[in-house]
Structure 1
Amino acid sequence: MKNYRVYGNKPYNIILLHGGPGAPGSLSSLGKMLSVKYGLIEHLQESDSIDGQIKEIKEICDIHDKEPFIIIGHSWGAWLGYLFAAKYPECVKKLILVGAGPFESKYINEMNDIRENRFTDQDREIISKQWEVLKSGNSEAEKKKAFGIMGKVISKIEIYRVLDDIKEEEITDYKPEAFFKLMDEVNAMRKSGELLNKGKDIKCHVTAIHGDYDPHPFKGVEETLTNVVDDFKMIIIEKCGHYPWKEVHGRKQFLELLCDLL
């Protein structure tokens, strides 16, 4: 099966990079919303390495067009788009980072504290049980199920106020092993400063869109990229969390911002 799906009509000059990592298909709802006006490609990440995922994006670019693409990356996908734009600047016309994680390790404790303070006792119990499944010798199917359950619990505390019309994302598979491998790899890059320094190689305009309720501190994006990326702009949406297109106070402004950028 091909590792992407398309929304809307040609030309397909926008690439969506989903979060997780390890949750391919988690931007299906955004793809459908934008497909009314635009043609989009959602990359369904398969590789368990950063270089492997960057190679997948490059192959998608080569298949569909030789002209630069606009890349919209959410969460993990924001980092991935950032790294792709640094390696292949000729392929990226514009980069949009949505709910990006902090680019320096010094913001991690703040992020973890925010999450911990929002969890209920029931949330902690669920996460603890699913974490044991992931660490034990359970089957691959059981681990995938546990990974999906944990993701839903965490997503719940990352949203300020969810809209009623949101349906389940069309996730093709859960990949917990890829999640841990990729996070280990990117965390090492973040700790060494390599992740942030990659921004010096980005040649296109970069816009970061961030909800002020997002547990990922927006300072970890704004205060870092401002001094590294030549053409950078930060936009904060109030009363909005990690998934702007799913939120009561975020969707309208978020979609308007995207339409201005696309």
Structure 2
Amino acid sequence: MNNTVRLYGRPPYRVVLVHGGPGGAGEMSPLARRLSQCMPVVEAMQTKLSIQALIEELRDQIAAHAQTPAVIVGHSWGAWLCLLFAAHHPDMAERLILISSGVLEDRYAEVLRATQSARLTEIERSEMAKLTGLLDDPDVPDKGALFSRYGYLFDKIENYDVEPEAQEPFETDPAIFNHVWTEAAAMRSSGDLLRQASLVQCPVLAIHGDYDPSPVEGVREPLARVLKTPFEFLVLKNCGHTPWLERHARDEFYEILEANVA
């Protein structure tokens, strides 16, 4: 193991996990440990401040530690990174599994924002707006505590019914989030995100919770429209943004995932 990967089990590794955030390194550790009970797993960490650099970092991680082509599993923002990676390095991706992907077009982001707002109280909405401003302010020093509180409110927005004991703390990196998300949002707005997704040459499976604030159609419809490879979309009932933590959906999620990475 080095500072940018965690290895579970013995080689050869052919399953690679790509976390969300951006900047949420370690969020997929519970998932990695569970999968490693039946197969070796690479948990890749993101340390770079641009999308192109993250694509090349993931290439280096997979080349150094995994058997290629690999099954690449991305969560949230990590699902986008998987699509971009496979578009740039098609020979290294055998299959993509996208868990709780963000919506791929701006028109669906409006639905996302409305859902997020409806799940907070008026006081919490005010606090969220204040936190967003502080996190975006380059003159605000150490943002770790702000980011943690922001994450707490997002948990309320995103989760349906999680097992508290299943949650684990992980460090978030505000610098990576701010740099990468700004670039990623611009790619979505310009249509470049979908244009690059259309270049993917391997099969794609998307898994999405019905309670995820990112609407199902915001992921399913754009990908079904642009992908030229086999594409399957599965919806989990009573499930939010992080299926492996969800009390009612976790078992079904693991059954689906384990069947598709084996």
Identify unmatched segments of 5+ residues in structure 2. none
**Counterpart for residue 145 of structure 2:** 145
Q: Partner residue of 1:155?
A: 155
Number of residue pairs matched by the alignment: 258
SS at match of 1:226: helix
The 1:137–1:33 alpha-carbon spacing in structure 2 relative to 1, beyond 3 Å, is same
- Note the C-alpha offset of 1:152: 2.1
Would the alpha carbon gap of residues 168 and 210 (structure 1) be closer, same or farther in structure 2, given more than 3 Å must change?
same
Structure 1 residue 42: deviation in Å? 1.1
The AA in structure 2 aligned to 1:137 is: D
Query: Aligned with 2:205: secondary structure?
Result: strand
Judge conservation of contact 2:12–2:67 (CA < 8 Å) in 1: no
Q: Partner of 1:174 in structure 2? A: 172
> Cα distance, 1:108 vs. partner?
0.8
2:244 corresponds to = 245
Aligned pair in 2 of structure 1 residues 22, 120: CA closer, same or farther (>3 Å)? same
* Partner deviation per Cα, 1:203-236 (whole Å, 9 max, x = no partner): 1110000001000111011111112112111000
Query: Following TM superposition, by how much is the alpha carbon of 1:7 offset from its aligned partner in structure 2, in angstroms?
Result: 1.8
Query: Which residue in 1 is equivalent to 2:186?
Result: 188
Task: Quote how far apart the aligned CAs of 1:35 are.
Answer: 1.2
Distance 1:200 1:127 in 2: 35
Provide, for residues 114-162 of structure 1, a one-character-per-residue CA deviation record: whole Å limited to 9, x for no partner.
00000124433543453354226332x3x12211220121022211111
Match of 1:59 in 2: 60
Alpha-carbon separation, structure 2, partners of 1:192 and 1:129: 28
Structure 2: distance between partners of 1:17 and 1:145: 24
State whether residues 8 and 37 of structure 1, in contact with CA within 8 Å, keep that contact through their aligned partners in structure 2: no
The aligned residue for residue 90 of structure 1 is 91
1:65, distance to aligned residue in structure 2 (A): 3.9
Give the TM-score of the pair, scaled to structure 1: 0.93
Change (3 A) 1:108 1:35: same
Match of 1:13 in 2: 14
3-state SS of paired residue (2:207) = strand
Question: What pairs with 1:1-262 in structure 2 (closer than 5 Å)?
Answer: 2-134=3-135, 135=137, 137-139=139-141, 141=142, 143-169=143-169, 171=170, 173-229=171-227, 230-262=229-261
SS of residue matched to 2:226: coil
In the alignment, residue 202 of structure 1 is paired with which amino acid? V
The residue identity in structure 2 corresponding to 1:251 is: R
How far has the Cα of 1:48 moved from its partner? 1.0
2: CA distance, partners of 1:132 / 1:188: 19
The separation in 1 between residues aligned to 2:20 and 2:9, in whole angstroms, is 21
Q: Following TM superposition, by how much is the alpha carbon of 1:25 offset from its aligned partner in structure 2, in angstroms?
A: 1.0
Alignment deviations for residues 170-190 of structure 1 (CA, whole Å, 9 cap, x no partner): x2x422122122111111111
Q: Residues of 2 paired with 1:74 and 1:180: CA distance?
A: 18
Structure 1 CA distance, aligned partners of 2:118 and 2:49? 31
Q: Does the CA contact (< 8 Å) of 1:74 and 1:99 recur in 2?
A: yes
Whole-Å separation in 2 of the counterparts to 1:63 and 1:81: 17
2:131–2:150 CA contact under 8 A, matched in 1: yes
Structure 1 contact 9–35 (Cα < 8 Å) conserved = no
**How far apart in 2 are the matches of 1:17 and 1:120?**
32
Distance 1:258 1:83 in 2: 21
